Structures are given as C-alpha cells and as structure tokens.
C-alpha cells in the first residue's frame, strides 16, 4: 500500500509538474520502480507456488526462532514477514501520515477534506458491498480485505498513465491514500485482533515511554531508538494485538518538525568550519548538526524508504501472493461469493464510493477540487483505487484460517487489482486524448512579452530570446529564481530579455506580496523589491513585506499607501487570469520564446534551455532570409 516517499517529495518540489520524458523517467523512480518491484515479487510468488511439489508452502512454514535458557520464541517464516518485517512497513506508513498531518497536505483541512471524505466512503462502501454479497456465508469476516487501496501500485500507475494530468490530482491521491491507510490500520487493530491479553501491553507501554523520554531528552540519533522499539514490538506481540501495530505506535512518537532556522545555521557554521579545516572531528560535528536539522521522522522515513520499496514489499508479496492457480482453484474461486465479494467490493465499491462522495462534496462546495482537477479525473482515479493489493493480502491472512478461503481471497484480490488497473488505464488514456484535443496550445504563452506592459529586464530590441516567468514569493524555492536571473543576465547579457509576471497561488499573503511588488514599481524599484521579497521568502507575515520594502530603499510611507490602495492589483489580476487560461498551477513556471519550459527548475537546466533557444535563434538569423527572435 504505502510507499509514496519519492512521489510526495516530487509533488512538493516545483519541478514535479512538467518535464521531458527522460528526466521524467529519471526523476519519478520511487513510485514507478516500487510498483514494478511489487509486481515482480507477485509474479515470482505465483510461479513458485505453482511449481511441482510444495516447496513454497513448506518454505514459508519453516520455523525460525531463538531460544534463551528454557524459553523459546518461534514463528514460521511467513509470520516473521507478516508480523515482524511488516511492522517496519506500517511504521513507514505512519511516518508518512504524521508528516502529512503536521507539515503536508492534511494540515490544511479545507484542502484535505475532499480526499479524506472520499477515503472514508472508500472504506465503508466496499466493505458494505462485500458483506452484502457474502452475507450468510462464513466469509463475511473478510470485509477488511476490500477497505484499502495499494498506494504503491496506484502511484506507480498514475506515474505511467497520468502524465498529462494536473499535479493536484497526485496530491488528491496521496491524501486519499494516506487517509485510507489510517482507516486500514484501525481495521487491523480493532477488527482483527483475537485473544487479547492486556498485561503484556505494559511492556509495550514501557518501551513507548522510553522512546517518549528519549524524544523529550532530544535524542536525535536514529539507531538509539532501535532497542526500545524491539521492546514495544515484543509487548504488542505477546498481547495479541497485531504486532505490526508496534510500528504504528513507535512512528507516532517520533518527533517531527519543520527544519528550524537555528539548526540550519548551526549546520552551516559547522560545514564552514569543516571546509576551513577538514579534520575528522569537524566532519563528525558537521555531519551531526546536518542530521539534527531534520526531524527524526523525516530521516527515518528517508532511511526506511529503500528497504520498504526494495525488500519489505517484494518479500511480503513473495510470502503472501503465492496462490496455487489450477483449473479447479480458479473455478472454485470464481464460483464463490467470497471472490466476487472482493472483486465487487474493490472495483465497484471504490469507484462508487470515491466518485459519488466527491461529486456530492462538489455539489455543496463547487470549488472543493480547485481549478485544475475535474470530476472525470476523480472517476479515473477511483477506478485505479480498486487496486487493493498489499493490505488486502495482509488482511486475508488475518481473516481466514481455512486454506480454501485464503486461496479464494488471494485470487479475488489479484483479479480485482488487475481489473482495476486495466479500467483505470483505459479511463486515463481516454482522458489524455480528450485533454490533448481540447487544448492543443496549452503550452503557448497567451500574452506575448510586451515591453510597454511587462516588467522587463534586458533590452527587447537587441534580444534574440525572451523568457517570461510566472512566479511568487510564498515558496522557499524562490531563491532559485533569483540565482537564475543573475546567472541569466551574466551569461546572456543583451541577448535575452526577461519578464516577470505574478502567479500568487493559494498562499495567504501571496497576493499581498505581488501587490507590494507592484507598489515598489511605482517608485521605480520593482526588481530591488523582488530581490528583497525573495530574500524574505517564504512570506508569512506582513512585516516581512515591510522589511523588504525598507531594504529595497523605498519610501515606506508612499509604499504603504500604494500597497494599501492595491494600485497594482489590476496587473496582478491580469497575470492571474492569463495563468488560469494556461492552466498554470505551479510557480515558478517559465516560458522561453513563448513556449512553456518543461524541464526541471534549477538554474542550470533553465539556463541550458535558454542557451539552446538562443543558439537556434542565432543560427536562424545567420541564414539569409530568416528572421531572428
């Protein structure tokens, strides 16, 4: 299910939106590769399980344990995977959820509410459909199989088939997946815990208290958290509550915080000290202070990601997807209400739940999805959401003891996953085609650079290339823009003309900062103000804007009058309307010679693209009869 590390990072960075095919492949590896590895594990399991003999079954039931004095602790291999190794996976999910709650998408309830509502519906309705179909049979207890979507698979699919889709759709999906994971964890904790003995939980509580104490004491070395973590796991295991929930409990306690400025500065100081005298001890302090600047949660998440992607998920698939596929088992499965319950629950249930609940929300709040995401996108997404692989197989093992039921459920899960993937892929293929037909010119700049209107650097008469940026001051990515402009001026001089237009997005002070920038232009200090605003970015309070104005050398009294009167608002509104027409939802977005630049947003890449445009323009102008520019 969850393995969204790479992809969430990609979502948060501005370069995730539009890129060329090569960098796309290079840069969205986690989601894609994760899905590929998971499929490989599944295929291997299926092949292995269907080899002659029972090597698959007997291997996964090999006992493995340790014996200390007279007491022994023993589990078979499959349970080691499902109870112990998967604890790491659940810890990973929980870290993700907490990060999204405190720093990410889920923090803003207005934005998060739609996918969260869809996720809740997506838990309940599939379970009801499943129960409806299997009512009266012994299989009713397997309803937990259909509640959760496999995030790794869905993000992988979206990376392949959803390229032209708006980036907000991914954010919607990640939020949905995270909320849905919370539900699944709850289902596992409360619905699939048998013979509960509370006493050993005290051991777990002791371990958790230790972690909490370490957290309070400011311990930031990840490795030190390992020992109490094992104690917690043992406590959970002995209590009968599913032991993987130990991972959840631990991850909930790990500190998370946005990187603090002080820490960052200390780290910088230490790195500088190391640069001046590169000794082992400076290397160590530099290293430590760098690590300390990032919360344990994020470091743990980062550290676990490769293991989860490359080891834990494929091993889990290998241990759990090995269903014996024979004519009889298939006939049996596809005539059983259990299998059809799972297929209907996952495929139909998720489609109905997510589409209908989102549709209802948009009836009540028409702007709930934002400008970029349409209902058709959500429907496509809901088809993909029927891919309920990892958690479904996990719950199968918890819900059923009878091997026939397990086999039916596994076949149902795999069939539903394949069906959902096919439906979703078809839907997105149709949507992509429609999208291309609807706006074939969406990559063109609708309002060409106009020196009489735009804020321009460089000489439009001598320039052979024009660059238009749509940007704002609310993202910490802005410094890149500043650096980029410097470099552009230095490298291309009079050959490039550059214009800046405003694209304040949903940031509270985004519009205000843009208007402030225009107010500075009334004193002939647009670019100075822009530089100072970039220095202050992200803009979180009005004082930062006033400080920028003072640093830009403005007459503060005049500035505040013009800012307060919103004199520049009309221009900002124009820029926004243009951006809306071009479906720009990310800042900064660049247009080079009126064509949207799709590469990654860093000074080198953008400048390389500008250089290429300039070279081809110069070549054109050298040819007789051709026109420059």
Judged by the rule CB under 8 A, the positions of this chain that interact with other proteins are 546-547, 549-551, 555-557
Rounded-to-integer distance, Cα 149 and Cα 137, Å: 25
Q: What is the DSSP string of 62-96?
A: -EEEEEETTEEEEEEHHHIIIIIIHHHHHHHHHHH
Nearer to other proteins, 211 or 554 (CB): 554
Give the nearest distance from C-beta 519 to other proteins in angstroms: 15
Rounded-to-integer distance, Cα 351 and Cα 382, Å: 5
Give the nearest distance from C-beta 545 to other proteins in angstroms: 11
* CB 383 within 8 Å of CB 427: yes
Give the nearest distance from C-beta 122 to other proteins in angstroms: 51
Nearer to other proteins, 327 or 557 (CB): 557
Give the nearest distance from C-beta 550 to other proteins in angstroms: 4
Q: Give the CA distances from residue 404 to residues 276, 401, 588, in Å, rounded to whole numbers and listed in that order.
A: 68, 9, 56
Nearer to other proteins, 243 or 549 (CB): 549
Nearer to other proteins, 374 or 546 (CB): 546
By CB atoms closer than 10 A (0-12, 13-18, 19+), residue 272 is exposed
Nearer to other proteins, 93 or 519 (CB): 519
* CB 122 within 8 Å of CB 149: yes
Query: Per-residue b/e over 428-465, b at no fewer than 16 CB within 10 Å?
Result: beebbeebeeeeeeeeebebebeeeebbbbbeeeebbb
Give the nearest distance from C-beta 542 to other proteins in angstroms: 12
Kindly report the backbone phi and psi dihedral angles of residue 457, in degrees, each rounded to the nearest multiple of 5, phi listed first: -115, 140
Give the nearest distance from C-beta 509 to other proteins in angstroms: 17
Tokens 């009334």 belong to 522
Nearer to other proteins, 402 or 540 (CB): 540
Q: Give the CA distances from residue 239 to residues 82, 188, 245, in Å, rounded to whole numbers and listed in that order.
A: 16, 14, 11
Give Cβ neighbours of residue 340 (< 8 Å, ≥ 6 apart).
Answer: 133, 334, 412
Query: Of 137, 177, 182, 171, nearest to 16 (Cα)?
Result: 171
Give the nearest distance from C-beta 536 to other proteins in angstroms: 12
Residue 423 tokens, joined: 């439906």
* CB 488 within 8 Å of CB 607: yes
Nearer to other proteins, 268 or 551 (CB): 551
Give the nearest distance from C-beta 547 to other proteins in angstroms: 5
Give the nearest distance from C-beta 560 to other proteins in angstroms: 8
Give the nearest distance from C-beta 559 to other proteins in angstroms: 10
Give the nearest distance from C-beta 533 to other proteins in angstroms: 14
Query: Of 429, 434, 433, 437, nearest to 380 (Cα)?
Result: 429
Residues, the chain: 629
Kindly report the backbone phi and psi dihedral angles of residue 369, in degrees, each rounded to the nearest multiple of 5, phi listed first: -90, -5
Nearer to other proteins, 1 or 539 (CB): 539
Nearer to other proteins, 12 or 551 (CB): 551
Rounded-to-integer distance, Cα 405 and Cα 115, Å: 33
Tokens 């609807």 belong to 438
DSSP-derived 3-state class of residue 225? helix
Rounded-to-integer distance, Cα 381 and Cα 369, Å: 13
Region class of 149: left (phi > 0), else alpha (psi between -120 and 50), else beta: beta
Nearer to other proteins, 447 or 547 (CB): 547
Rounded-to-integer distance, Cα 510 and Cα 502, Å: 9
Tokens 């993700």 belong to 96
Nearer to other proteins, 535 or 547 (CB): 547
Nearer to other proteins, 232 or 529 (CB): 529
Give the nearest distance from C-beta 552 to other proteins in angstroms: 10
Nearer to other proteins, 13 or 551 (CB): 551
């Amino acid at each position: 299910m969850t393995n969204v590390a790479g992809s969430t990072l990609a979502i948060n960075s501005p370069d995730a939106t539009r890129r060329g095919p090569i960098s796309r492949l290079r840069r969205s590896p986690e989601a894609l590769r994760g899905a590929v590895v998971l499929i490989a594990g599944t295929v291997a399991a299926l092949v292995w399980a269907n080899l002659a003999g029972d090597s698959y079954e007997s291997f996964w039931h090999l006992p493995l344990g340790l014996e200390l004095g007279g007491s022994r602790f023993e589990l078979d291999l499959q349970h080691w995977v499902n109870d112990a190794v998967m604890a790491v996976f659940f810890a990973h999910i929980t870290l993700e959820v907490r990060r999204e709650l405190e720093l990410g998408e889920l923090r803003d309830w207005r934005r998060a509410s739609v996918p969260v509502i869809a996720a809740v519906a997506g838990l309940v309705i599939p379970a009801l459909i499943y129960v409806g179909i299997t009512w009266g049979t012994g299989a009713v207890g397997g309803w937990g199989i259909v509640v959760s979507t496999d995030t790794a698979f869905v993000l992988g699919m979206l990376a392949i088939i959803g390229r032209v889709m708006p980036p907000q759709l991914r954010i919607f999906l990640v939020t949905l997946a995270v909320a849905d994971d919370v539900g699944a964890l709850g289902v596992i904790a409360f619905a699939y815990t048998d013979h509960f003995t509370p006493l050993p939980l005290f051991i777990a509580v002791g371990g958790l208290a230790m972690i909490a104490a370490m957290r309070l004491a400011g311990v930031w070395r990840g490795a030190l958290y390992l020992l109490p973590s094992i104690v917690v796991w043992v406590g959970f295991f002995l209590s009968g509550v599913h032991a993987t929930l130990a991972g959840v409990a631990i991850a909930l306690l790990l500190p998370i915080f946005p990187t603090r400025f002080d820490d960052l500065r200390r780290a910088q100081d230490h790195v500088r000290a190391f640069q001046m005298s590169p000794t082992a001890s400076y290397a160590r302090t530099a290293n430590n202070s760098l690590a300390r600047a990032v919360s344990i949660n994020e470091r743990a998440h980062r550290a676990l990601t490769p293991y989860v992607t490359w080891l834990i998920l494929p091993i889990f698939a290998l241990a759990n997807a090995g269903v014996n596929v024979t004519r009889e088992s298939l006939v049996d499965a596809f005539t059983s209400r259990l299998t059809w319950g799972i297929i209907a629950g996952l495929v139909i249930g998720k489609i109905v739940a997510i589409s209908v609940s989102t549709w209802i929300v948009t009836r009540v709040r028409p702007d709930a999805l934002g400008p970029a995401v349409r209902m058709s996108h959500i429907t496509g997404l809901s088809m993909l959401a029927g891919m309920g692989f990892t958690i479904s197989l996990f719950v199968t093992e918890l819900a059923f003891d009878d091997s026939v039921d397990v086999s039916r459920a596994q076949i149902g899960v795999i069939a539903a996953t394949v069906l959902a993937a096919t439906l979703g892929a078809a839907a997105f293929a149709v949507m992509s085609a429609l999208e291309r037909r609807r706006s074939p010119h969406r990559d063109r700049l609708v309002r060409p650079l106009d020196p009489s209107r735009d804020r321009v650097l460089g000489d439009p008469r001598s320039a052979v290339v024009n660059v238009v940026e749509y940007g704002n001051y609310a993202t910490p990515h802005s410094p890149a823009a500043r650096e980029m402009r410097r470099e552009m001026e230095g490298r291309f001089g009079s050959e490039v003309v550059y214009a800046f237009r405003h694209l304040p997005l949903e940031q509270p002070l985004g519009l205000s900062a843009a208007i402030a920038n225009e107010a500075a232009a009334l004193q002939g200090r647009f670019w100075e103000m822009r530089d100072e605003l970039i220095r202050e970015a992200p803009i979180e309070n009005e004082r930062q804007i006033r400080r920028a104005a003072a640093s830009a050398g403005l007459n503060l009294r005049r500035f505040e009058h013009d800012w307060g009167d919103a004199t520049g608002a009309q221009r900002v509104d124009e820029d926004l309307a243009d951006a809306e027409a071009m479906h720009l939802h990310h800042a900064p977005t660049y247009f080079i010679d009126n064509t949207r630049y799709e590469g990654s947003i860093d000074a080198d890449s953008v400048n390389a693209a500008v250089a290429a445009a300039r070279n081809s323009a110069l070549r054109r102008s050298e040819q007789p009869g051709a026109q420059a520019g």
